[in-house]
């Protein structure tokens, strides 16, 4: 059951164009690489980077949803002469701002994701008011039909040639694609509008409770001009921009600048703690001396309080730096079709669930996320979208928003206890050292992984048990159906406990994550849970399994997301590979916690095959770049997706060990 036209085919068509339009992705990736290079250059300016990030996280945790702190902020803003309006909904905000503008017909504004969120630009123009974006990137977007591609660099996906054409069409003259010429023309056009306008609208990066001050950062200097319009300055921001004081806000601003642009500090920091005024003549107060005679602060809620109260507060820790986009595997191949207005990528999509509603989140990529959690590593406050994505998919599914492909898989799990359909495999075995949990992929799709693992255990004389296992529930959890997973967990754990073994080993990273992270939510597990690579290293060190010389070849290792970022297991597979004589082990540039997702997770491969393959292609490119001859992984889903993409040899670690074990 879907609202509007949000079907599988609709979403596949929505992403088909971006997946094929490589030119814009090239420009976007180039811009992102430049940001990464600047970050590396300027990292020396932040010797206390970890401490700053921890401080920021604690500040956000204290401030977000703190009603007393918000009340203090509002009170102090009003003491400083601001008129403050609390807008419960975006309609409330739009109506209030329209009333504040009155008879004016030209408005200049600066970059603001909150104004994008409420559709302010479009609303004002529908009411006969001309609106000019004064940030050059936003002005370029305004003149085109493009969508923004980054919170601080909205036009970074456009080349100089794209922008020259946009300007030429808008201004009726043929312009050369010279960045300096284009910048100069943009500045002149924007400046002309600023000088004619009497009201300026800006956002705010922070609102500081103790001082009753708003802080805005920028590089272009346009905000200073916009906020100085003589009649009125309207600041439109949201309640999650709250900080206890200026000192904590400045810490955020420095981190935001570093992660957004790679610079150590932005060009301009505007601190606005009241309207301009003077009492230099006989102490008579005169307001609006060199600035606006009124400053109005609009604080937007728009579903945020509901999100805080429902346990999604962390989702709004975001400081708008956009660093998560630089590493998101989906954004890397899909660009700005993934996200909601100015809130891009997985976090933006999840936030839109509350800001705009479930339909909007569904349309803008709720099911695009592979749950790889690379965003958590990239985010200065540690926001990982995987957990929120799964919880919101559960919410959407409970409302009947489930795609036929996922519904078919879930019906297979309910009927056959596996996602592929057909009768279960009844191969059982008694053993008292370990239980080997093969997983659905090992039982039905990548059987050679299970076979090689069992042969290794037999070579090492390990007494292992096989149970009549059912699906671990990972597929159900990642696609939003926890109830099924809970039932499967009980069945699997009951069967494992009947064996008497206290250790369970897994070939599948997804199964291991589910047992370690999800099963304890349902019942006491009380078992040692290991990936097979961890167990294999143990028996190799004990001398129960010996390795012989390998053939000379370059081998690299691909870290599965479920095993790496989610469980922090990185070293054991690498140590095993390095123990095989003659083999040359080489790391891809993106490895361990920075490893690029293969694209198969989160139900993406089953639902959006082309999207999944596009991500796998990028991982193959990483391996080709270092001239690897063989990719080894420790997840059957990774192996399958990478194999579907390339002719390069892709094998599981168990297959490599079996080949070179004595």
In a domain, 418, yes or no: no
Stretches in the chain below the pLDDT threshold 50: 1-2
Which residue, 277, 302, 327, sits at the end of a domain? 302
Contact status, residue 429 vs residue 466, Cβ threshold 8 Å: yes
- CATH code for position 595: 3.40.50.1860
User: Judging by beta carbons within 10 Å of its beta carbon (0-12, 13-18, 19+), is residue 102 exposed, middle or buried?
Assistant: exposed
- Structural contact between residues 381 and 53, judged by C-beta atoms closer than 8 angstroms: yes
Domain final position from 489, 510, 541: 541
Q: Are residues 522 and 610 in the same domain?
A: no
Beta bridge partners of 436: 505
Cα separation values, 512 from 183, 367, 396, 458, Å: 53, 22, 26, 22
Rounded to whole angstroms, the Cα distance separating 246 from 498 reads 60
What's the pLDDT at 113? 96
Burial state string for 344-375 with b = 16 or more CB within 10 A and e = fewer than 16: bbbbbbbbbbbbbebbbbbbbbbbbbbbbbbb
Look at residue 528 and tell me if it is in a domain: yes
Task: Output phi, psi for 437, to 5 deg.
Answer: -95, 110
**What is the residue whose two structure tokens read 């250059």?**
41
**Looking at the domain assignment, is residue 115 inside a domain?**
yes
Burial class of residue 542 (count of CB atoms within 10 Å of its CB; 0-12, 13-18, 19+): exposed
Burial class (CB in 10 A: 0-12, 13-18, 19+), 592: middle
Distance CA 239, CA 77 (A): 14
Q: What is the dihedral of CA 61, 67, 70, 75, to 10 degrees?
A: -150
**Token pair for residue 49?**
């980077």
**83 and 208 together in one domain:** yes
What are the tokens at 1?
């059951």
> Which residues are CB-neighbours of 520 under 8 A, at least 6 positions away?
none
Are 589 and 533 contained in the same domain? no
Same-domain pairing of 56 and 20: no
383 falls within a domain: yes
Is 613 within 8 Å of 645 (Cβ atoms)?
A: yes
| Cα–Cα distances in angstroms (integers) from residue 79 to residues 72, 96, 200, 212, in the given order | 11, 21, 22, 8
Based on the fold, state whether residues 122 and 82 are members of the same structural domain: yes
Beta bridge partners of 298: 85, 236
pLDDT of residue 48: 97
Contact 635, 641 (CB under 8 A): no
Residue 362: inside a domain: yes
Whether 203 and 236 have beta carbons less than 8 Å apart is answered as yes
Residue 483's alpha-carbon distances to 45, 61, 414, 479, in angstroms, are 49, 30, 11, 12
Contacts of 567 (CB under 8 A, 6+ apart): 509, 512, 513, 516, 517, 531
- The pLDDT assigned to 2 comes to 43
Q: Structure pTM?
A: 0.94
Residues belonging to the chain: 662
Residue 76 backbone phi and psi in degrees, to 5: -75, -35
Q: Pick from 194, 195, 165: which is nearest to 182 by CA?
A: 165
The enclosing domain of 532 has a CATH number of 3.40.50
Range of the domain at 444: 434-541
Q: Are residues 267 and 377 located together in one domain of the fold?
A: no
CATH number of the CATH domain containing 390:
1.10.1060
* Beta-bridge partner residues of 429: 466
User: Using CA atoms, how far apart are residues 132 and 136, in angstroms rounded to an integer?
Assistant: 10
- Alpha carbons 475 and 472: distance in angstroms, whole number: 8
Question: Between 246-261 and 49-63, two packed helices, what is the crossing angle to 10 degrees?
Answer: 120
| 529 and 390 inside one domain | no
Is 218 in the same domain as 272? Answer: yes
Tell me: do 607 and 626 sit in the same domain.
Answer: yes
Nearest to 390 by CA among 636, 607, 635, 603: 603
Mind listing the pLDDT tens digit for each residue in 620-640? 999 999 999 999 999 999 999
Same domain? 476 vs 337:
no
Cα–Cα distances (Å) from 490 to 238, 391, 496, in that order, read 44, 21, 10
Same domain? For 257 and 228 the reply is yes
β 206-208/213-218 pair status: antiparallel
Residues 330 and 266 in one domain: no
Question: Per the domain annotation, does 180 fall within a domain?
Answer: no
Residues 6 or more apart whose CB falls under 8 angstroms from that of 257 comprise 217, 263, 264, 265, 266
Residue 410 lies in a domain: no
Of the candidates 569, 491, 497, the one whose C-alpha atom is nearest the C-alpha of residue 532 is: 569
- Per the CB < 8 A criterion, the answer to whether 625 and 642 are in contact is no
Question: Taking a C-beta distance cutoff of 8 angstroms, is the pair 365, 611 a contact?
Answer: no
Instruction: Give the end of a domain, one of 283, 302, 321.
Output: 302
DSSP letter string over 95-118?
A: HHHHHHHTT--EEEE---HHHHHH
**CATH number of the domain that residue 268 is part of:** 3.40.50.10420
Is residue 416 assigned to a domain?
A: no
* DSSP result, 302-361: TTHHHHHHTT-GGGG---S--HHHHH-HHHHHHGGGSEETTEEHHHHHHHHHHHT-HHHH
Number of domains in the chain: 4
Residues 6+ apart with CB under 8 A from 56: 248, 251, 252, 255, 319, 380, 381
């Amino acid at each position: 059951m879907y609202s509007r036209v949000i079907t599988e085919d609709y979403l596949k068509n929505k992403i088909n164009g971006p997946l094929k339009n490589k030119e814009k992705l090239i420009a976007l990736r180039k811009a992102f690489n430049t940001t990464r290079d600047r970050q590396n250059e300027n990292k020396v300016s932040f010797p206390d980077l970890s401490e700053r990030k921890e401080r920021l996280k604690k500040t956000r945790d204290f401030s977000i949803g703190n009603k007393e702190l918000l009340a203090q902020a509002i009170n102090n803003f009003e003491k400083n002469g601001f008129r403050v309006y609390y807008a419960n909904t975006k309609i409330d905000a739009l109506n209030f701002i329209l009333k504040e503008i009155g008879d004016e017909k030209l408005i200049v504004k600066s970059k603001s994701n909150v104004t994008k969120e409420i559709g302010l630009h479009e609303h004002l123009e529908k009411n006969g008011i001309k609106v000019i974006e004064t940030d050059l990137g936003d002005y370029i977007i305004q003149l085109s039909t493009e969508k923004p591609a980054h919170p601080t660099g909205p036009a970074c996906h456009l080349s100089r040639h794209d922008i020259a054409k946009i300007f030429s069409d808008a201004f009726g003259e043929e312009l050369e694609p010279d960045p300096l010429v284009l910048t100069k023309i943009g500045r002149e056009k924007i400046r002309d509008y600023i000088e004619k306008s009497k009201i300026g609208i800006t956002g705010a990066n922070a609102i500081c409770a103790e001082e009753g001050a708003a802080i805005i950062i920028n590089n272009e200097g346009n905000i200073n001009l916009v906020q100085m319009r003589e009649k009125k300055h309207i600041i439109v921001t949201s309640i999650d921009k709250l900080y206890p004081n200026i000192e904590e806000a400045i810490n955020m601003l420095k981190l935001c600048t570093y992660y957004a642009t790679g610079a150590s500090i932005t060009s301009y920091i505007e601190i606005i703690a009241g309207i301009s005024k003077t009492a230099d003549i006989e102490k008579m107060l005169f307001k609006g001396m060199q600035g606006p005679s009124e400053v109005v602060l609009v604080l937007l809620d728009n579903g945020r309080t509901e999100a805080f109260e429902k346990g999604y507060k962390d989702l709004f820790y975001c400081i708008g730096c956009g660093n998560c986009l630089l590493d998101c595997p989906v954004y890397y191949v899909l660009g700005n079709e993934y996200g909601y207005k100015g809130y891009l990528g997985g976090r933006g999509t999840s936030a839109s669930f509350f800001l705009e509603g479930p339909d909007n989140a569904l349309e803008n990529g709720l099911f695009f996320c592979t749950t790889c959690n690379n965003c958590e590593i990239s985010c200065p406050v540690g926001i990982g979208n995987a957990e929120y994505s799964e919880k919101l998919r559960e919410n959407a599914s409970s409302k009947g928003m489930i795609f036929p492909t996922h519904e078919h898989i879930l019906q297979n799990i309910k009927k056959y206890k596996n996602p592929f359909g057909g009768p279960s495999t009844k191969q059982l075995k008694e053993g008292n050292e370990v239980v080997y949990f093969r997983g659905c992929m090992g039982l039905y799709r990548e059987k050679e992984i299970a076979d090689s693992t069992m042969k290794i255990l037999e070579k090492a004389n390990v007494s292992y048990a096989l149970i009549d296992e059912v699906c671990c529930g990972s597929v159900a959890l990642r696609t939003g159906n926890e109830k099924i997973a809970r039932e499967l967990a009980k069945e699997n754990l009951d069967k494992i406990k009947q064996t008497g073994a206290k250790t369970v080993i897994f070939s599948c990273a997804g199964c291991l994550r589910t047992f370690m992270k999800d099963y304890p939510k349902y019942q006491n597990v009380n078992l040692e849970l290991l990936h097979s690579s961890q167990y294999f290293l143990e028996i190799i060190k004990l001398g129960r399994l010996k390795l012989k010389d390998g053939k000379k070849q370059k081998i690299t290792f691909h870290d599965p997301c479920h095993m790496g970022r989610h469980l922090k297991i990185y070293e054991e597979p690498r140590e095993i590979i390095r123990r095989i004589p003659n083999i040359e082990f080489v790391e891809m540039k993106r490895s361990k916690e920075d490893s690029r997702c293969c694209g198969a997770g989160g139900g993406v491969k089953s639902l959006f095959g082309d999207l999944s393959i596009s991500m796998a292609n990028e991982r193959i490119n990483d391996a080709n770049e270092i001239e690897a001859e063989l990719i080894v992984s420790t997840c059957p889903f990774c192996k399958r997706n990478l194999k579907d993409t390339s002719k390069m040899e892709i094998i599981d670690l168990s297959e490599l060990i079996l080949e070179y074990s004595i």
